[in-house]
Amino acid sequence: MNVAIIGATGYSGAELFRLLHGHPHVSRCDVFSSSQDGVHLSESFPHVGSVDGAVLHKLEIEALSRYDAVFFATPPGVSGEWAPALIDRGVKVIDLSGDFRLKDGAVYEQWYGRQAAPAEYLQKAVYGLTEWNREAVREAVLLSNPGCYPTATLLGLAPLVKEGLIKEDSIIVDAKSGVSGAGRKAGLGTHFSEVNENVKIYKVNVHQHIPEIEQTLQTWNEAMEPITFSTHLIPMTRGIMATIYAKAKQPLSPNDLVDLYKTSYEGSPFVRVRKVGQFPATKEVYGSNYCDIGLAYDERTGRVTVVSVIDNLMKGAAGQAVQNFNLMMGLDEAEGLRFLPIYP
């Protein structure tokens, strides 16, 4: 298959190129840019070297229409403008931005502060939380790849919410991310002197991933209430840890929790559930498409604790996008992703 990446000069785009360049069913992977036509990707990312297909091309609908699939690893607003024309030409689109995640355009405009994509395409988009939406992903023409925080959070919450085991108004998510989650563009907030030896909270109660998480939770259980969701920047390059708290409706044993999650994710090659008393660390999924989950129940408070970790550039972006691409193309979802994390 021939595929294209729009936005390959960002971190997620570079990871996509790495994965697709070595994918066993991709014969050609071309890269496109709105501003660097004719420039080799190695000018932005020297680690790419002089590999074929890494010269950036100008964005043109006719040229992009010749590919089997087009990946958008772009800032908000780009895919909402360009993707509809490609879909109308029969090209499958995998969008890593937030442009098609929210079904209600007014909600998107409230949280993202920009015009939403056409309503027809918002409704057509399939939300690509692979483990819980496989059948829809297989039939998708427009795939909306989940955000990094929602991926870790929703995979951590799904069994509890779907089984109705927690109180609908009790969810608190304390999430932490490495600096690559902020993208490659330089800014004061990601300056070394500001981040090093420092932890800071940001976008308190206004993070754009909040409505995305709530939308999916309410799809699983209409009674779900708004969540408390806090994000923190950590002085590391990659990784997300979401520590999730929720009040149980009735007492739960740690063994039952682990059994529930292992049963729920049986047949999901990229979700690994830890044994009772074991909890994952971000470094244990580094560079991989895994989501590792640890569980606990506090008898004193009646709360469940879920610890969910991912690599934000892999399972939180490029890796999950390739996982979804595989299903859309009739392949095994693990194609091109069967490798262990990098450690240490």
> Which residues participate in catalysis according to the annotation?
148
Q: Give the tokens for residue 140.
A: 């998708």
Characterise 110 by phi-psi region: left (phi > 0), alpha (psi -120 to 50), beta (else). Answer: alpha
Residue type, 20: L
3 state SS of 114: coil
CA 92 vs CA 3, 86, 121, 214, 256: distances in Å:
10, 8, 13, 27, 41
- How many whole angstroms separate alpha carbon 339 and alpha carbon 305? 29
Residues 6+ apart with CB under 8 A from 235: 179, 195, 196, 197, 198, 199
* R_g of the chain, CA atoms, integer Å: 20
What residue ranges in the chain does DSSP mark as E strands? Answer: 2-6, 28-33, 56-58, 69-72, 92-95, 126-127, 142-144, 172-177, 200-202, 228-233, 240-247, 271-273, 291-298, 303-310
Any idea what the Cα angle at residue 227 is, between residues 222 and 228, rounded to 5°?
175
Residues 6+ apart with CB under 8 A from 285: 239, 291, 292, 309, 310, 311, 314, 315, 341
CA 233 vs CA 85, 199, 242, 259, 274: distances in Å:
37, 6, 12, 32, 25
Residue with tokens 């958008």: 72
